[in-house]
Amino acid sequence: MKKRKVKLTKEEVAFALKEGEYWDTHSVADIWEQTKPVEMEFDEVDSCIVIPVTSRLAKQLDKLVSKKKQSVEEWLSHAVEKELAAASH
């Protein structure tokens, strides 16, 4: 799976929140005649779990995975798989 980091600016986050608020109170049915069909493709994405960590731990993880030339996601996935395999014996 291709890994990419997405960093949003404060302005992009503010715009997304404002856009979300709009759609909380409006329906696409109200503007249907202004829409047009589009084609889209999506890659299947594994489920995600967000786990808060201290900044110290995050820095240590970043240092470890950069030495191993892996992403944090890849390293954690392998570590969890290893632990689960050991626990199932």
Residue 4: pLDDT band with limits 50, 70, 90: low
Residue 5: pLDDT band with limits 50, 70, 90: low
What angle, 0 to 180 degrees and rounded to 10, lies between the N-to-C axes of helices 55-68 and 72-87? 90
pLDDT at 8: 81
Separation in Å, CA 15 to CA 6, 8, 19, 23, 89 = 16, 10, 6, 12, 50
pTM here is 0.44
Query: CA nearest 72: which of 83, 81, 61, 82?
Result: 61
